[in-house]
Structure 1
Amino acid sequence: MATSTNYPAAACATEMNFDLDFHSINIVDLDLRDDTLYLIAEETVKQEFSKIENRCAILRNMKGRVLVIVKGGKMAVFEEMSDSEIAANAPRTQFIIQHYKETTPKGLAVAISVKTEKKIYTLSCKDKKLHFKEGAASDKIDYREQDILFYQERILGHDKMQFKSFLYPEYYLACKQEKKGIFKLILKKGCQDEEGSTKFIVHYECGKTDSLE
């Protein structure tokens, strides 16, 4: 199965055919269940992830706005910032992208956390609702915690990235402009639009320790 390296420009970043939502599976009579679907569902449950490394990163949208944690760590927005302002607002502008190795590799699986002055928060898309929940991502993740996992995918011909939900493969992290000029980090269905809302600039080595201790 293809990884996230070569993709047509007009298509979504991924070629992975991983459309199974574990939470949407209905338990039915074994005699009536499709054997192929059952085997795929069973594989999803067995899939486990082991942490490889942490990397510190600054995340920007296509317009160059910087992602920053606000409201006590519960929400993230994009703001225009100079390099000095990014440093002045650390650690809320500095995210920890944690890379994981899958039991059956299907791409670059990551979790996104932030270590604020007081607490650690990790991005979750549980029930298709994007939020930062308190606590660091585990070193090992099974099906009970896969709401924090995303596939980080490079876009062909660009130095941009997309982040696709592991649990909900049709949904991507995106930037959405709301009232009063606020640009929020959201979970969006689909990966294409004229504004490039699902495309991100990832700048590593932001000068912060990658430890979440």
Structure 2
Amino acid sequence: MAASANHPAAAHATEMDFDLDLHSIDIVNLDFRDDTLYLIETVKQGFSKLENHCAILKNVKGRVLVIVKGGKMAVFEEMSDAEIKANAPRTQFIIQYYKETMPKGLAVAISVKTEKKTYTLSCKDKKLHFKEGAASEKIDGKEQDILFYQEKIPGHNDKMQFKSFLYPEYYLACKQEKKGIFKLILKKGNQDEEGSTKFIVCYDCGKTDC
């Protein structure tokens, strides 16, 4: 940071010679490779934890997101308020907010604390899964697979979309599979008539110990 005119160090500052012969300066050719530039960008880009909130996540049809199969997969199911409470903590998600060094949106990680373990949603290699462990306090070039940008949807104040940080063309979505199963997936693009990438985020879930 440059010293101000009133700072004691300013009295000892060397006056810049604006008549310097520019032809006497050696110009260094910086031949960066693509991976070097990516590394520099990665070092610059960092995330640090802010507050978190507990939330119930639903698709546009009102089906509730719940963790199944030992915490490895999430599906949407029709549940009453009593059933949501009875299936806690598998229906109560932790949305962890991050401060970004170069803000591009509202960066979040989505975790769930089951009876025995904590799992955090990851989209590594464009494959969506919950990996064991809580979201990190700080994220630089590593673990960016857990980051999503939570985006508001114009005209829908109660609905959100979650865009992958690593793969900006991909969004969290609800997909109906065989036997009437509605699964949480990573989908390319966010435009569809069914609203599969739209989520209802209910923060008032009655949980206070996230």
Give TM-score, length-normalised by structure 1: 0.80
Q: SS where residue 171 of structure 2 aligns?
A: strand
User: Could you tell me how far apart the structure 1 residues matched to 2:130 and 2:46 are?
Assistant: 22
Q: Which whole-Å CA distance do the structure 2 matches of 1:73 and 1:53 have between them?
A: 24
CA deviation vs aligned residue, 1:21-76 (integer Å, no higher than 9, x gap): xxxxxxxxx84857xx9656632342110100110000000100000000000000
Map 1:31-70 → 2, pairs under 5 A = 31=31, 33=33, 39=37, 42-70=40-68
**What does the per-residue CA deviation read over 1:87-136, in whole Å, with 9 as the maximum and x for residues that have no partner?**
00000000000000001111100000000001000000000000000000
* Corresponding position: 1:96 with 2:94: yes
Q: Which has the higher contact order (CA 8 A, sep 6+)?
A: 1
Query: How far apart in 1 are the matches of 2:183 and 2:43?
Result: 32
For 2:161, the equivalent position in structure 1 comes to 162
Q: Name the residue aligned to 2:144.
A: 146
Distance 1:104 1:135 in 2: 26
Match of 1:199, as an amino acid?
K
Secondary structure class of the residue paired with 1:174: strand
Equivalent residues in 2 for 1:1-213, closer than 5 Å = 31=31, 33=33, 39=37, 42-158=40-156, 159-211=158-210
Paired amino acid for 2:57:
L
1:11 corresponds to = none
Cα distance in 1 for residues equivalent to 2:92 and 2:41: 35
Q: 1:154-197: per-residue Cα shift (whole Å, max 9, x none)?
A: 00110210000000000000000000000000000001111110
Distance in 2 between the 1:154 and 1:210 partners?
Answer: 26
Say if 1:113 and 1:120, in contact at 8 Å, map to a contact too. yes
**Unaligned 5+ residue runs, structure 2?**
1-29
Question: Unpaired segments of 5 or more residues in structure 1?
Answer: 1-29
- CA distance in structure 1 between the partners assigned to 2:56 and 2:160 by the alignment: 13
1:142: Cα distance to partner? 1.2
Q: How many residues were matched structurally?
A: 180
Look up the match of 1:16.
Answer: none
For residues 150 and 60 of structure 1, the distance between their equivalents in structure 2, rounded to whole angstroms, comes to: 17
Matched-pair contact (CA < 8 Å) for 1:73–1:132: yes
Report the 3-state secondary structure (helix = DSSP H, G, I; strand = E; otherwise coil) of the residue aligned with 2:76.
Answer: strand
Find the structure with the greater CA-based Rg.
2
Q: What's the Cα RMSD here?
A: 1.7
Q: Which residue of 1 aligns with 2:10?
A: none
The 3 A distance-change label for structure 1 pair 207 and 48 is same
Contact in 2 for aligned 1:50/1:139 (Cα 8 Å): yes
